[in-house]
Structure 1
């Protein structure tokens, strides 16, 4: 099974939800777990470690290839990671009794790219999806069925205007895609780089509540 960190619900509830955290390229499961204590008390919070080791240390959900001067995604690895995450949810549900109709995905950077793709490929699995400092990768989305019912999903999308890693222009592609698919979404831009400032943080906590 994938390596993960767990915060159990802090308040008694018959139907706890699940918040799944997906970190970015070259990071690890400790990264987003640093604010697990601030997330809703009635949820299991699980931070996954990505499945591939990167050359510089840390982990990734899929390799990136910059050799051609462009940022190329290893689509096959990304698809495999998505399948691993879906399998993980099924396996971990046998261990922790969370409500399968109340699963939140929260991804940062590469984790956000994957979260958006995961939600659109498995729209009945997730409820809330937070995409922080990512972008909609067309290579991962080209097989999406436009006739799918996405009405269960709610998206929170945020990006820094001064992001040097993923340009704000890439993130702005979220809006037309969300509108075309008639998704329930809110999109925010902040005066920040490739990270989460206080305003962004409080907005995402409000969305989760």
Structure 2
């Protein structure tokens, strides 16, 4: 088992110029650099971009639906990395409502879990094929209110790693905590991100251009 070494890859303009940030969270076996390549499809020149790198290219060793103790201490360490990064951005004068979280697969699960444990008004959550973490979802750990945060959550049906039932459960929980949901379930879609999903994400990223 492992904890994560802190390594953050950044791109785009500095926060002092943009006043808004996107945190990109990669999937299992991928890298900060690979998830950041999505910027080429999202028209994010006006954002500061950050992508943490998981040690061993994996945020936690087993399925997101394994008993939680099997994924410790890596899972708690991954959540701590995100908390430190978000705190650093906010401490530079950027409000949480101008911070967006984007994750794919394992990174989408981590995005959903972190944001729901720390629910507040974010700029948006872009959850590509993921859901809340745990053999069963433990709602007692979720605190706060999303206060109208727009959330995109997408998946394939079936998906080899993420059951649609967990995606639907995740939607219900985060909606009850005040999020505004856009969801898409694509029949027989491979474990990937479709161009249509990028367009839906762009709609959220660019809905508050005046900020």
TM-score normalized with structure 2 length:
0.78
Q: How far does residue 2 in structure 1 lie from its aligned partner after superposition?
A: 2.3
User: Measured at CA, do residues 30 and 137 of structure 1 come closer, stay the same or move farther in structure 2, by a change above 3 Å?
Assistant: same
User: Measured at CA, do residues 78 and 140 of structure 1 come closer, stay the same or move farther in structure 2, by a change above 3 Å?
Assistant: farther
Is residue 126 of structure 2 the alignment partner of residue 130 of structure 1? yes
**RMSD after superposition:** 2.9
User: Measured at CA, do residues 3 and 140 of structure 1 come closer, stay the same or move farther in structure 2, by a change above 3 Å?
Assistant: farther
Q: Counterparts in 2 of 1:1-209, with a 5 A limit?
A: 2-9=6-13, 14-39=17-42, 40-50=44-54, 52-53=55-56, 59-64=57-62, 71-73=66-68, 74-91=71-88, 97=92, 99-101=94-96, 102-124=98-120, 126-138=122-134, 141-145=138-142, 148-191=144-187, 192-209=189-206
Cα distance in 1 between the residues matched to 2:90 and 2:16:
16
* Residue pair 2:157, 2:186 contacting (<8 A) in 1 also: yes
Q: How far does residue 169 in structure 1 lie from its aligned partner after superposition?
A: 3.1
More helix by share: 2
Which runs of 5 or more structure 2 residues have no equivalent in the other structure? 207-211
Cα distance in 2 between the residues matched to 1:29 and 1:109:
14
Q: How many residues align?
A: 196
Q: How far does residue 61 in structure 1 lie from its aligned partner after superposition?
A: 1.2
Cα distance in 1 between the residues matched to 2:121 and 2:171:
22
Q: How far does residue 92 in structure 1 lie from its aligned partner after superposition?
A: 5.7
Per-residue deviation, residues 110-155 of structure 1 (Å, max 9, x unmatched)? 1111111111222237331111111222456433356x32215321
* Residue pair 2:150, 2:179 contacting (<8 A) in 1 also: yes
Cα distance in 2 between the residues matched to 1:93 and 1:178:
22
Q: How far does residue 60 in structure 1 lie from its aligned partner after superposition?
A: 1.2
User: Measured at CA, do residues 86 and 208 of structure 1 come closer, stay the same or move farther in structure 2, by a change above 3 Å?
Assistant: same
TM-score normalized with structure 1 length:
0.79
User: Measured at CA, do residues 79 and 140 of structure 1 come closer, stay the same or move farther in structure 2, by a change above 3 Å?
Assistant: farther
* Residue pair 2:13, 2:45 contacting (<8 A) in 1 also: yes
